[in-house]
Amino acid sequence: MDDSERHDEERLEIGRELPLVPLRDVVLLPGAVVPLLVGRERSVHSLELAAEADKLLVVTVQTQPDISDPKARDLRDIGTVARIHQMLRLPDGTTKILVEGLHRVRITAFIEATDHLSAEIELFEAEAAADPTELEALLRQSLELFGQYASAHQRLPEEVSNSVNQIGDGLRRADAIGAWMVLPAEEKQELLEQVDPLRRLRRLVQLLHREVEILRVEERIEDEMKDSVERGHKEAYLNERLRAIRKELGYGDDDDDEVEEYLHKIENTEMSEEAREVAHKEISRLAKMAPMSPESTVTRHYLDILCGMPWQKRSEDQLDTRRAKKHLDQDHHGLEKAKERILEFLSVVKLSGNVQGSILCLAGPPGVGKTSLGRSIADAMGRNFVRVSLGGIRDEAEIRGHRRTYIGSRPGRVLEGIRRAGTRNCVFLLDEIDKLGSDFRGDPSSALLEVLDPEQNKAYSDHFLEVPFDLSEVFFICTANDIHQIPPALEDRMEILRLPGYLEHEKVAIARDFLLPRLRESHGLARARFTISEAAISDAISLYTREAGVRGLERQLATICRKIARRKAERRPIPKIVQRTNLHKFLGPPQFLRRMVDREPEIGVVTGLAWTSTGGEILEIEVAIFAGTGKLQITGNLRKVMEESAQTALSYTRATVPKVAAKMKKQDIHIHVPEGAVPKDGPSAGIAMAVALTSMFTGRPVRRDVAMTGEITLRGKVLPIGGLPEKAVAAQRAGCVKILIPEENDKDYRELPKDVQQGLQWHLVRRMDEVLDLALLPEKHAASTAADAPRSGESPGAAAH
């Protein structure tokens, strides 16, 4: 004991009164130097009194730490006399002090003043050890155990063990060891209250043994976890550590119920043996994972998808062809060929019970009912329907799925759609298959080859699922606007059903029987007594829409319904019938003019036909000649293939009209195809350009009510073209009487609807001679139109049109 401590002990007489500071959950042992934050007003006054006197005070711990204003009954009667070394008032009103524990004391009386607490104390007399040998053994053992404790504990400074060794007095050293140990307040208070040195040291050694063993277990757990947890995954690491501690302590596993639930799902799901084996492996892995780790989340998601697949769930097919025909007729007007093919399919399924190899592609312009027809097919068959839009997909993983190594991975759209449908024999619509893209992430169209190949899709394997799933019972239906954009390998696996654009009278029937009743219902006009005349619908089609389908027409009819609904809501009178005469009051001025072909024959002007993604269109091909050097000028935003067709047509004309060949050398030729803002390409305007050139050089007028399409060769042969249904509808809509098509397109002609066949005079041609005979008027009619044709030497502004 140094001189200052001896002097302090002499001043601590029995009955000495000192300021008292109660502590919530801190026990101060003799020899310990600790910082304290004091915030209660009475405690701060006690500090001030001690600081003004000899800086000595008494500290003791509360029996309940949550008591804000403790009384005598709330305080322990064994405490510690402490000396204040530093005292600092903080801005928030609290006081920070650094105190050193000096002696154990018994509090004989608590004194409650108005603004502070104080206590009368008595010192504990130091008892002699009954067995000095045991005392020395316990001191050595405690010092050795504390060395192990300090080296294993990560929060203690490295120099703690050396500083404790330098304390000369053994019992003081034991108190210092207890002060440095991280123990609950109750256990430290137990060391403080124990006066018998042997009992105090036995308890200290017991606590050291326990804490050292706990630290060893933690260290072993730490080493085990470092090998299995990725660096930086703090949350996963802590959860794994908690799980390992629970395992070491022998606690039960909280996720046993979850494992049992997955096992129950597997037993109730009639999945394949391979899938069942994979599922059991994943459940075994899940049982060993931390509940909140990212790996367990991925595994749960995988098991949910695996158990949610319709491995053996089927819907019962309704294969009554009469009922199916009635259902299709109720939902769609026309489309006879598509309906016939669907009924044939149902008949085959009814007789064979097998749908393998049934992959249809409904090709046609937008708005003709491709998607809705797919839904009607599902309803007619009594199957679940699922639709997946493929437009704009460029990543192969969207089809095949993402591998589970990626965060947020999911199955591909095919298996995800099957899971959403809930049955393995659903009707699956792959919408806009011609809009698939490709880039550095892969080619989605190639990924679809396995899906649509009947020989491969019996065991289709997704990158996410990684177990085979049978797609052979799925009825795949694809839709496309332009079949030329579909890769050949993919097109080869499908049966193409073309849905041409609707004729005007078909659109009128669709609007009358399908669109208008639905719009009246959706606009709250089911009971309103108004209708739209067929003449008004016809004008809405020709003057306010330009399309092959009926989407634009539906929008125009919806506009009429909205205006009538507003009038009804405002209790204004509504018209009983919307006529052609008052149509503009609802739709405004016409957006398009009726693009009809001119009836008067002209020289150098021919009616050609073009295919677009929205349907067919007519092309007015114009030719003008003027003085020059035989150059050919082509305008109208024509692309390379169409420019080459113009060159071929000009070469054919020079070769077959010898009397004008010499004249061509002195004249420039200008071929123009309106509209200039629209890009045009393709070889099918070749015969139309040749007719226009021949008409201009021979002076024979062209019949404007004759439309034509076909590719030309230098020898005058007419080669087949595509898009005949759309072009035929455009010709009929424009008021053409005759249509000239290549003879090799006879197969396409025979597949056209009867309305289209009967609405035009069809001429199948093989050579240009036949085309010229049908399209050009005899030379005797040339005089009446000669004034309209630009002649050699005229100014360039005198173009014929």
Cα 11 from Cα 81, distance rounded (Å)? 12
- By the 10 Å C-beta count (0-12 exposed, 13-18 middle, 19+ buried), 267 is classed as exposed
Cis bond before residue 675 (omega within 30° of 0): yes
Structural tokens at position 203: 């308890």
Look-up: residue for tokens 């019972």? 473
Contacts of 438 (CB under 8 A, 6+ apart): 394, 444, 445
Give the number of other CB atoms < 10 A from CB of residue 474.
27
| Local structure of residue 702 (DSSP, 8 states) | B
CB-hemisphere CA count at 13 Å for 750?
Answer: 5
Q: What are φ and ψ of residue 107, in 5° steps?
A: -90, 115
Q: Is the dihedral angle over the CA atoms 395, 401, 405, 407 positive or is it negative?
A: positive
Q: Are 73 and 60 in contact (CB under 8 A)?
A: no
Structure tokens at 306: 């695996």
* CA atoms of 385 and 418, how far apart (whole Å): 9
Residues 6+ apart with CB under 8 A from 68: 40
Q: Is 14 left (phi over 0), alpha (psi -120 to 50) or beta?
A: beta
Rounded to whole angstroms, the Cα distance separating 426 from 325 reads 19
Residue 322 has, within 13 A of its CA and on its CB side, a CA count of: 0
Indicate which residue of 188, 727, 754, 795 is catalytic. Answer: 727
Number of C-beta neighbours around residue 388 at 10 A? 19
DSSP β-bridge partners for residue 106: 78, 122
What residues have CB less than 8 Å from 469, skipping those under 6 apart?
309, 311, 415, 418, 459, 460, 461, 462
Which distant-in-sequence residues (6+ apart) come within 8 Å of 702 by Cβ?
601, 602, 603, 604, 605, 606, 691, 692, 695, 775, 776, 777
d(CA 557, CA 540): 8
Of 753, 730, 748, residue with least CA distance to 333: 753
Distance CA 428, CA 378 (A): 9
Residue 727 annotated as catalytic: yes
- The dihedrals phi and psi of 738, each to the nearest 5 degrees, come to -115, 155
How many C-beta atoms lie closer than 10 Å to residue 492's C-beta? 11
Give the helix ranges, DSSP H, for 153-291. 160-165, 170-180, 185-193, 197-228, 234-249, 256-268, 273-287
Contact 385, 426 (CB under 8 A): yes
Contact 368, 415 (CB under 8 A): no
Catalytic residue selected from 142, 376, 684, 695: 684
Phi first, then psi: give them for residue 533, nearest 5 degrees. Answer: -70, 155
CB 564 within 8 A of CB 530: yes
Q: What is the DSSP string of 311-345?
A: SS--PPP---HHHHHHHHHHH-SS-HHHHHHHHHH
3-state secondary structure of 721: coil
Encoded tokens for 354: 């097998």
Distance separating alpha carbons of residues 497 and 361, to the nearest angstrom: 6
How far is Cα 198 from Cα 137, in angstroms, rounded to an integer?
10
Nearest Cα to Cα of residue 149 among 115, 176, 130, 126: 176
Catalytic residues: 684, 727
